[in-house]
Amino acid sequence: MVQIYFLFYALPGLGLRLSPLMTGVVALGLHYSAYTSEVYRAGIEGVPRGQWEASKALNLSPVHAFRHVILPQAIPPSLPALGNYLVAMFKDTPILSAITVLEMLQTAKLVGAETFRYLEPLTLVGVLFLVLSLCSASLIRWLEHRLVLRTS
């Protein structure tokens, strides 16, 4: 929330004005890029040092070694954490309503305020969040299974 407020209210004072939606995209992108970079770093450091040495012994360039030897071993263990962050990002989008981004939950509240019936729109939003989360989790599970089969 602090990052979103800073980007939305402080950056215009520095001469950089972004729309509320763009500010939200940048804020969530910066926030989650820090976490995902740590996931990738941990995955790459989890590859045994001997793999780097074997790549060097085979006279592979650093780019080829990284692309064909290291990354295929680093990505599969990183997928569960990346999937968790994907689902968490879906759940964090409602905080963008603090900077006037009209997202699903805020729209449901507005519909409820107009009709005095909050149950239906809020239930629909909850079901949509659930469906998106379940679909994302299924996609991540499928990718994990596919990458495990490919690497073995």
Following CA atoms 31, 34, 40, 46 in sequence, which dihedral angle do they give, to the nearest 10 degrees?
-130
Predicted model pTM: 0.81
3-state secondary structure 80-148: HHHHHHHHHHHHHHHHHHHHCCCCHHHHHHHHHHHHCCCHHHHHHHHHHHHHHHHHHHHHHHHHHHHHH
How many C-beta atoms lie closer than 10 Å to residue 121's C-beta? Answer: 20
Cβ contacts of 32 within 8 Å, gap of 6 or more: 85, 88, 89
Q: CA-based diameter of the chain, in Å?
A: 71
Mean pLDDT, all residues of the chain: 92
CB 136 within 8 A of CB 83: yes
- Residues 29-78 have pLDDT tens digits of 999 999 999 999 999 999 999 999 999 999 999 999 999 999 999 999 99
Is the pLDDT reported for residue 6 higher than 70?
yes
Is the pLDDT reported for residue 150 higher than 90?
no
Is the pLDDT reported for residue 151 higher than 80?
no
- Residues 105-123 have pLDDT tens digits of 899 999 999 999 999 999 9
Cβ contacts of 86 within 8 Å, gap of 6 or more: 136, 140
C-alpha R_g of the chain: 21
Q: Count of domains in the chain?
A: 1
Residue 30 is part of a domain; what is its CATH number?
1.10.3720.10
Domain that holds residue 129: 2-151
- The pLDDT of residue 152 is 60
- The pLDDT of residue 148 is 77
For range 7-17, the mean pLDDT: 92
